[in-house]
Amino acid sequence: MTHRALGARLGPPLLGVTVLASCLCGGAGHAHAQAWQKEREGMPNTPAQELAGVGLVEHLDGAVPRDAAFRDTEGQAVTLGQFFDGKRPTLLVFAYHTCPMLCSLVLDATVRSLNDVAWTVGQEFDVVSISIDPHDTPETATRKRASVVESYGRSKGSVSGWHFLTGDEANIRKVTEAIGFEYRYDARQKQYAHPAAIYLLTPDAHIARYLYGIQFEPNDVRLGLLEAAQGRSVSTTERILLYCYHYDPQGGHYSLVAMKVMRLGGVVTLGALGSFLTIMWARERRRSKKLAASNDPPSTPRTTSRTTPRESPTSP
């Protein structure tokens, strides 16, 4: 597949991420890079071997398998569906515990972003990290979770919201295929080549949003969580925020929509003007009533005339 065909399949931002993932976790050597530089003019436009089978195909609104079986940090058997309560969204990330660089970069970027998001892990949403290496164990998951949660500024009381899961190849693939996460094991480098992204899931375990890269803007994560929440526990201010922003699939981030902001500004202006006119009309009406009352002449009491009986003339 050519670079252009791969780019058309994966999308502009994803191609760069996939190349980065391949370089960092696929382990393309310096000598290989030099050889490519010398021969690039005579080489066909084909992707690096490390990219074969690596990519990300979005399955928006698709469901993740709730019956996928894993083990948690305590070694207890769990299913993925246990982490969706129908009320809170979930942030999902794939990361294996012996990854030399990329997985840690993604997890670190996730934590940095969440430190600047108003919502708190374990309260408004949960984080689920699934290892793509079937050799990882609950023990390695425990150590990885401890190092990640330690970097989270609100780690106290939120540990229960961080879930690090390990499982066998079949169940791992079950989830990665539902997400569209394509990865491969490079036996020569003894590492996994994989894309870099995080995934925001609805409370009923459907895919709401993909965010790519090794840096995640807090505003993008916040808006993605709001979308994933599907209106549950979303304040009026947050609804307005969602209205004003739109996810740009080409740029891979949320952008402010000027037209919507102008419309919203017009509605607010009309509302404010209407309120002002109503207040002024009410004031003027009260003033007119007071003025009319002060100009009315005082009422005079009505007197009742009494007629005295006329005396009859007396005869002499």
Task: Judge whether 286 lies within some domain.
Answer: no
Task: Judge whether 80 lies within some domain.
Answer: yes
Please name which of 37, 68, 13 lies closest in space to residue 178, comparing C-alpha atoms: 68
Please name which of 157, 174, 156 lies closest in space to residue 165, comparing C-alpha atoms: 174
Task: Judge whether 10 lies within some domain.
Answer: no
Give the span between the Cα atoms of 203 and 187, in whole angstroms: 37
Q: What pLDDT shows up at residue 284?
A: 76
Task: Judge whether 6 lies within some domain.
Answer: no
Q: What pLDDT shows up at residue 51?
A: 63
Q: How far from 98 is each of 19, 103, 189, CA to CA, in Å?
A: 20, 9, 13
Task: Judge whether 135 lies within some domain.
Answer: yes
- Residues pairing with 60 in the sheet: none
Q: What is the CATH number of the domain that holds 141?
A: 3.40.30.10
Task: Judge whether 152 lies within some domain.
Answer: yes
Give the span between the Cα atoms of 237 and 96, in whole angstroms: 38
H or E segment and range at residue 312? none
> What range does the domain containing 77 cover?
55-215
Asked if residues 166 and 131 have their Cβ atoms less than 8 Å apart, the reply is: yes
Q: What is the total count of domains within the chain?
A: 1
Please name which of 43, 151, 72, 66 lies closest in space to residue 104, comparing C-alpha atoms: 151
**How do the pLDDT tens digits run along the chain, 316 residues long?**
333 333 334 444 444 444 344 444 444 334 343 443 444 444 455 556 656 679 999 999 999 999 999 999 999 999 999 999 999 999 999 999 999 889 999 999 999 999 999 999 999 999 999 999 999 999 999 999 999 999 998 877 678 899 999 999 999 999 999 999 999 998 888 899 999 999 999 999 999 999 998 899 999 999 899 889 975 544 445 455 555 666 677 666 666 655 554 554 565 676 676 777 788 777 777 777 777 777 766 555 555 555 555 555 544 4
Asked if residues 179 and 199 have their Cβ atoms less than 8 Å apart, the reply is: yes
Task: Judge whether 238 lies within some domain.
Answer: no
Q: What pLDDT shows up at residue 2?
A: 35
Q: What pLDDT shows up at residue 5?
A: 36
Centroid of chain to Cα 302: 80
Tokens representing residue 235 in the block: 């304040």
Asked if residues 79 and 69 have their Cβ atoms less than 8 Å apart, the reply is: yes
Q: What pLDDT shows up at residue 247?
A: 66
Task: Judge whether 71 lies within some domain.
Answer: yes
